[in-house]
Amino acid sequence: MSDNKSFQDLFHAHDDHLHGEPTSFISKYIISYDHKVIAKQFLFFGLFWAFVGAFMSVLIRWALAFPGKAFPIVGSLLFPHTDGVIPPDAYTMLFTMHGTIMIFFAITPILIGTLGNFCIPLMIGARDMLFPWLNMASFWMTFAGGVVMFASLFVPLGASAVGWTSYPTLAHAQWSPGWGHSLWIISIFLMGNASIMGAINYIATIIRLRAPGLTAAKLPLTIWGLLLTAVLNALFIPVLAAGLLLLLMDRMFGTSFYLAAAISQNGTQGDPILYQHLFWIFGHPEVYIIILPAWGMVSDFLSFFSRKPAFGAKWTAGAFISITLLSTVVYGHHMFTTGMSPLLTGAFTTLTLLISIPSGIFFLNWLGTLWRGNIQFTSPMLFSLGVVITFGIGGLTGLHLGAVPTNLLLHNSYFVVGHFHLTMAVASLLGTYAAVYFWFPKMFGKMLSEKLAKIHFWTSFLPIMVIFVGMMVAGYAGMHRRIYNPYEYTYLEHLLFLNRYISLAAFLAFASQFIFLFNFFYSWKKGEVAGSNPWKVGTLEWTTPTPVPVHNFDVIPEVFNGPHEFSHPKLGDSRDWISQTEYLEGISTPV
């Protein structure tokens, strides 16, 4: 620092974020710098795309369960040239766009955009993000990416149909003509830039604006998950952006970064495998980018609703850090079938299996938190327990894909689809629902219906297990993940019966989400008014009024306790929790 004043500014950064009330509709709801409003913008954006992506999955499952039959009601509208029957090219487009939308436009905006924006300032005792303008720009660049992706659905020759991984040479203009895939690349590029903006903001805010006394050991595990996710976003999204930029140049300007000399227009030597390296250098950390926030939130929720301290909380945070570091060097197991050197495959196998050690540590800590706890089966707790189960099954099945022999057998089969859905998609989805049910009262000032929430859980969780465990069974039987009609092969004919059961479960799971939507919008308008701390937990966001003021805190709080102070013997029988801001002799740590 050049002078004493600028040095002191570091310790008064909170004062720069004391906002006044917005004075117009636009400044309050549209071009808002308030992290809470931006969180809601991300939420509604993500809910829209989640419905689109989920409906595409229904179409995919219909094609696999009833091949050659018209999709009911809206099939003739969606596929008029085939009288409502889903054609092969549309099927390929559907699974491409389903994967893209659910990862980049549904789970990421809700889990990272909404919950990161809403929780970080409130849980660290800050008045807003460190860079409010950058935060606002991040959402609107995300929105621009969504507009471009939506436009790609209606261009001549259709939307992208090359798989969500966008592998060359299929992704080249010669084999995938039209604007569909080019718009796909531009959209993901915009989304990536928005994620980098958000990552920088998250990291800087957590480092700079923590309340006095809020040391690393006292941070909620939710914040640890969001912080490490932001680190991975900042490091690896630029790798994906570089890879996509080269692919766009191949498509639009005749370069040949990913084309072998024999098929490039100018004879220049390129390499399609180079793209796979760039994609998976990002792609495997992306698994943890999506799941780390859910892990952190679930780690907190299990403690909150077991009414006991999180077992091995510091070890859990250490496990998250270890996984974050190891996630940077395990990507090669996605490429065992490319002819990779045995020396590299051995190294990547070792590193991939090594990452299961910290995963096992925090999973055992989850079980330790539940052990002999006074468990309250609230809706956030039910969805958190769903994460424990689905991640446990998905994580164990990942060992098969980390080892070369079994990977070669199962690669590109439906076993992989079942595994990564359970590990990443379903665990993240259930964690997101747990978080929405938990923070909805603070976000909107109303309580969601617990009865409807529990119906939503059971009608989602049980079908989900049928769907993705069934997919692993089908994959083990040899069903390829990208075949339009697998029953054309004699050895797969008997799987029609299994696929129909999987599809019926998928239709039930899709219908179940309307229970959530009804609960969400009805409670938002007419639900029971929430108290200031309905869950009786001690993290900082529950020390603010409900609804939360624009500036969050009138006075920046001082933190004396960790986030999981439950059932301490010195509390007596009057209550079983204390706030992070409450100083009690013999329990609290002086600031």
SS3 string of 60-101? HHHHHHCCCCCCCCCHHHHCHHHCCCCCHHHHHHHHHHHHHH
- Answer for the pair 288, 354: CB distance below 8 angstroms, yes or no: no
Question: DSSP letters along 374-415, please?
Answer: -----HHHHHHHHHHHHHHHHHHHHHHHHSHHHHHHHTTBHH
Helices 221-253 & 180-208, crossing angle to 10 degrees? 150
How confident is the model over 102-147, as pLDDT tens digits? 999 999 999 999 999 999 999 999 999 999 999 999 999 999 999 9
For 182, half-sphere exposure in the C-beta direction (CA atoms, 13 angstrom radius) is: 15
Instruction: Name 282's Cβ contacts closer than 8 Å, sequence gap at least 6.
Output: 236, 237, 239, 240, 243
CA Rg value for the chain: 24
How confident is the model over 425-462, as pLDDT tens digits? 999 999 999 999 999 999 999 999 999 999 999 999 99
Check residues 24 and 263 and name the one with the higher pLDDT. Answer: 24
Buried b (16+ CB within 10 A) or exposed e, 441-470: bbbbbbbbbeebbeebbebbbebbbbbbbb
Buried b (16+ CB within 10 A) or exposed e, 267-286: eeebebbebbbbbbbbbbbb
Q: Measuring CA to CA, how many Å separate 503 from each of 55, 64, 416, 482, 493?
A: 13, 8, 17, 16, 16
Question: Is 524 exposed, middle or buried, given 0-12, 13-18 or 19+ CB atoms closer than 10 A?
Answer: middle
pTM of the model: 0.94
Residue type, 10: L
Nearest to 229 by CA among 314, 297, 164, 165: 297
How confident is the model over 119-130, as pLDDT tens digits? 999 999 999 999
User: What residue ranges do the domains of the chain occupy?
Assistant: 39-571
d(CA 236, CA 106): 20
How confident is the model over 160-186, as pLDDT tens digits? 999 999 999 899 998 999 999 999 999
- Answer for the pair 240, 282: CB distance below 8 angstroms, yes or no: yes
- The second-level CATH assignment, the architecture, of 39-571 is Up-down Bundle (1.20)
The pLDDT of residue 19 is 60
The mean pLDDT of 525-548, rounded to a whole number, is 93
d(CA 328, CA 323): 9
- The secondary element (H helix, E strand) that includes residue 529 is strand 528-529
3-state secondary structure of 447: strand
Q: Omega before 169 cis (within 30°)?
A: yes
Q: How far is CA 575 from the centre of its chain?
A: 35
Q: How far is CA 309 from the centre of its chain?
A: 26
Nearest to 13 by CA among 209, 284, 274: 209
The mean pLDDT of 31-53, rounded to a whole number, is 96
How confident is the model over 358-400, as pLDDT tens digits? 999 999 999 999 999 999 999 999 999 999 999 999 999 999 9
The mean pLDDT of 84-95, rounded to a whole number, is 96
- Per DSSP, what are the bridge partners of residue 528? 447
